Structure 1
Amino acid sequence: MKTISLEEVAKHTSKKDVWVIIHGKVYDLTAFLPEHPGGQKIIMKYAGRDATKAFDPIHPPDIIDRFLSPEVCLGEVDAASLASAPKVETEQEKQLRIAHENKPRLDEMYNAFDFESVAKNVLPPDAWAYYSSGSDDEVTMRENHNAFHRIWLRPRVMVDVAKIDMSTSMLGTKTAIPLYITATALGKLGHPDGEKVLTRAAAKRDVIQMIPTLASCSFDEIVATRANNQTQWLQLYVNSDRTVTQKFVEHAEKSGIKGLFITADAPQLGRREKDMRQKYSQEAPDEMDNDDSFQRDEGAARAISAFIDPSLNWKDVAWFKSITKMPIIIKGIQTAEDAVLAWKYGCAGVVLSNHGGRQLDFAPSAVEILPEVIDALKREGCDPKKDFDVYIDGGIRRGSDIFKAVALGAKGVGIGRPFLFAMSGYGDKGVERLIQLYQDELEMCMRLMGAKTIEDITPDMVDIRNLKDHFVANPTDYLAKHAYEKMQPRGNLSKL
């Protein structure tokens, strides 16, 4: 391959002749410039220089080979000159570096909220906006967690709980705890290794990972990272070009994926205004009027998801069953009626989910509709414990939340954002510790509730009389609240 000097690359910086460096290779993106889904501005920002740092968090590494012709690659840049090129630390990079250096020790992370607090400081603003945003007023995003507060526990005592067994089986795979790492997009926004961090941590802690369609790493990279006998599931956004979807599904099955989770709640992406505002702030005013290649107010989410097919419907389940033997689960169920339809159309299960509060604001939380879903399935002659797996995601932040979900009939729970936050601050070890914290909390909750195994967790152990009541606030103990808010954490936690 031809070697090209940095000096030569630096000459090509106009819209009529734009070269960029990505992973040491030089690409002529002149013809592709008007077609780039992320707009022309970001390419022009790196015209004539190395764009790898901006490219990696958003794109899987094989995307150029898959979507651009080989002719756009002009050659390789001289590695020695690239390595010796002066690297200027921006003010933002300096602030993030200092935040990382001053973050608390990993052993000072005691719960999921601690990881979120650290992530807010160590993530770049665009990454934080994308990871943390919900739709519209973010009511549903907050409600996902708040709903668990309306479920109270009914502890049983005088039970031999010397040994606690948290293991369970999900879609035929035995796992250490009834949780899985659910699919979340753009892992490299938080860590250079992206979703591979989650794969490695899941293997260490014996939990299942769901691979996202919109991962920063390629599907094959994530699969290649898994340990022997490690179970992975696939979250699927259905492409408008069904040929593309069929090839992906067939490739996933050949790669050993054990479950196909079809996302059904995103025929159009919700208005994630935090993400949208961040995208807007990155655009220069002089391009606002003459670059129509991108809707600048849509944010990162829109940029990576324009391919999703809004025509997906129940009749398509038969087609999916014809192209794969993987169990099919519909992800994004938000009513009991749709859960019953999934059962009738022959799916293996459902995930009750409102997309983490990122789609339709004021959609119900998954745990709120869980009891009515279980009841509706039973009325249809379906036994959710044997015939049909019901999972939930959204808002699970404590081991007691997992307990409550299982008590109400969930086979297991999916957790997404907290693992992104743990990964962003502490990499593999952060994700491993967070899984361990969930295990520790669930073990304590089971012991104090008198449940030795997952099978011992039953509906009569929870009080859900207030679950549907969204509007009655608990009385506030202002003295205790004031004292709590004045407490200052010790050690490095004070730097949060």
Structure 2
Amino acid sequence: MPRSFSLQEVAQHNSPSSCWVVIANKVYDVTDFLPDHPGGAKIILKYAGRDATTAYEPIHAPDTIDKNLPHEKHLGELDSAGARQIQKEQESRKKTQDELRVEAAQAAKPPLSRILNLGDLEDVARKVLSYKALAYYSSAADDETTHTENIRAFSRYFFNPRVLRPIGHCDPSTTILGFKSSIPVFVSGSALARLGHPLGEANITRGAGRTSIIQMVSSNASLSAAQIAEARLSPAQPLFFQLYKHRDLEVAEQRVREVEALGYNAIWLTVDAPVPGNRERDIRAPFVLQDQERETEAAKTAGERPKQPEDAAEEEENVNLLGTAGALISHADINMSWTETIPWLRRVTKLPIVIKGIQCVEDAVLAAEAGVEGILLSNHGVHDHSSLPSIDVLYKLRKQRPDVFDKLEVYIDGGVRRGTGQFIALPGRRATANDVLKALCLGAKAVGLGRPFLYAHSAYGEEGVVKAVQILERELITGMRLLGATNVNELVPEMVCGRALDIIEQVNWQPLISKL
């Protein structure tokens, strides 16, 4: 029988030399794990000797402790008195200003029937998400130039529609790595769905299953790979796995074999995030929340000791510059290579391999030479400050090396918000809508959407995911008919021109450069 502990016993272990925490009424000794915690020791020590459930669960899969903490450090259960006390404290806890704001937004959100496009879903999500969740979902590196350009770049491309073609029957379905998809769109890997909704990635899995699209599951999902596989509507529902390769080869191999045994259908090796990006909005989130509470408790803080000059050094030392996002990939392998990593992965699995994160024509060619089944043109949307938008990389690849499209399947993600080439208003700016059809015309087999599905699921759960797919399907059929295409095979490069990019490439810049 496991031993039970009182809250008083746990509270005695509240230091770096002896650190215990309670998670879901189970007691763990995490002292030895402090130096290895991806988010740093500080966040664990904040809950040393206390219950850490509410902080832990939204950003960790349930099997995380089992995988990272030796069995002997699983000390036992919290006694019934302690469990009751924690429950009572949670029920009587004063809600924060952010929690009160979220509750009001949930009560005021419009019915799903009034949602007309993905921008509407995002607008609702931005109101009902916690500040921390929104900071993570919406942030990007540095000045967020790449994220903005990912959205704006599609406006540089224009259609050459064909007319007087029979378009009564229009079929937007396709295959991705041989698996059927109702539309040429898939869920791109995105972490921590439970930050937006307590059911997490399972909402997206069930929504994808109901609408017959395919979900790519992140290594950093807030549910375990097994839980997500169990959420499928049937064992035949395809799932792809986005692999952040661990620097420990044994750990990395175990992860691949685990998802293969669970019935995942492909490995998407992530190469565009070897190190954390500088996502300042994500990093600032704890400061903003602290300031909110200080403002509401001004009377209580009025008598605090004024800050002294020596406090600055201590505060600087305690700042977590990784943020929520950076901590997720702190164990990633930063020494991956074409000569070592791809052959290793081929030895480990028989599943199809897609390289996620190709950002230039040269690497697309190397991927084709490596014999992988596909590439995802992506700049991760958040990590690189000035990477070329994926649609521009696709355009350059089509012009410079069209042979690559015959050797593997090409996908893109980053910034897509509509199926058709129209304008939408996003919070804080007027951004051109990204166009799935433009990518398909240029040779992409399918397009990945990450944030839009996080927003849809955060706003309306599983039904929001279904609604997002229905919106995309309607827009795609409309757009295909206006182009004169009745299936995805009729979407060809001649239907798109990249006027602005062509002009830039045709200019002889050397005389101008020589005058600088």
Amino acid at match of 1:310: I
Equivalent residue number for residue 77 of structure 2: 76
Structure 1 pair 448–41 and aligned structure 2 pair: CA distance change class (3 A): same
Written as runs of structure 1 = structure 2, the 5 A alignment for 1:326-345 is: 326-345=351-370
Equivalent residue number for residue 274 of structure 1: 281
Q: 3-state SS of the aligned residue for 2:500?
A: coil
Greater mean deviation of Cα atoms: 273-282 or 177-186? 273-282
Distance 2:192 2:276 in 1: 16
Equivalent residue number for residue 263 of structure 1: 270
8 Å CA contact 1:391–1:411 kept in 2: the answer is yes
Written as runs of structure 1 = structure 2, the 5 A alignment for 1:209-248 is: 209-228=215-234, 229-248=236-255
Equivalent residue number for residue 399 of structure 1: 419
Amino acid at match of 2:65: I
Equivalent residue number for residue 102 of structure 2: 96
1:306 is aligned, of 330, 333, 337, to 330
1:463 is aligned, of 478, 485, 497, to 497
Distance 2:352 2:312 in 1: 47
For residues 128-181 of structure 1, the C-alpha deviation after alignment (integer angstroms, 9 at most, x for no partner) is 111111111111111111111121222222222122111111101111000100
Greater mean deviation of Cα atoms: 430-439 or 300-309? 300-309
Greater mean deviation of Cα atoms: 253-262 or 77-86? 77-86
Equivalent residue number for residue 164 of structure 2: 158
Q: Structure 1 stretches of 5 or more lacking a match?
A: 472-496
Equivalent residue number for residue 481 of structure 2: 447
Distance 2:237 2:311 in 1: 48
Distance 1:414 1:41 in 2: 36
Q: 3-state SS of the aligned residue for 2:269?
A: strand
Structure 1 pair 469–256 and aligned structure 2 pair: CA distance change class (3 A): farther
Deviation of 1:4 (Å): 3.3
Q: 3-state SS of the aligned residue for 1:165?
A: coil
Equivalent residue number for residue 417 of structure 1: 451
8 Å CA contact 2:38–2:331 kept in 1: the answer is no
The sequence identity of aligned pairs, in percent, is 42
Structure 1 pair 33–270 and aligned structure 2 pair: CA distance change class (3 A): closer
8 Å CA contact 1:35–1:293 kept in 2: the answer is no
Structure 1 pair 31–246 and aligned structure 2 pair: CA distance change class (3 A): closer
Deviation of 1:41 (Å): 3.6
8 Å CA contact 2:200–2:223 kept in 1: the answer is yes
8 Å CA contact 2:39–2:322 kept in 1: the answer is no
Q: Structure 2 stretches of 5 or more lacking a match?
A: 292-306, 421-434, 506-516
RMSD, matched Cα: 2.5
Amino acid at match of 1:270: G
Distance 1:207 1:82 in 2: 41
Q: 3-state SS of the aligned residue for 1:452?
A: coil
Equivalent residue number for residue 342 of structure 2: 317
TM-score if structure 2 supplies the norm length? 0.84
Greater mean deviation of Cα atoms: 93-102 or 151-160? 151-160
For residues 411-455 of structure 1, the C-alpha deviation after alignment (integer angstroms, 9 at most, x for no partner) is 000000011111111111111101110111111111222211111
Residue-pair matches, total: 466
Q: 3-state SS of the aligned residue for 1:355?
A: coil
Q: 3-state SS of the aligned residue for 1:466?
A: helix
For residues 225-252 of structure 1, the C-alpha deviation after alignment (integer angstroms, 9 at most, x for no partner) is 1222111111111111111111111222
Distance 2:62 2:126 in 1: 27
TM-score if structure 1 supplies the norm length? 0.87
Asked if 1:129 corresponds to 2:135, the answer is yes
For residues 336-363 of structure 1, the C-alpha deviation after alignment (integer angstroms, 9 at most, x for no partner) is 111111001111111111111x122221
Distance 2:5 2:152 in 1: 57
2:92 is aligned, of 83, 87, 104, to 87
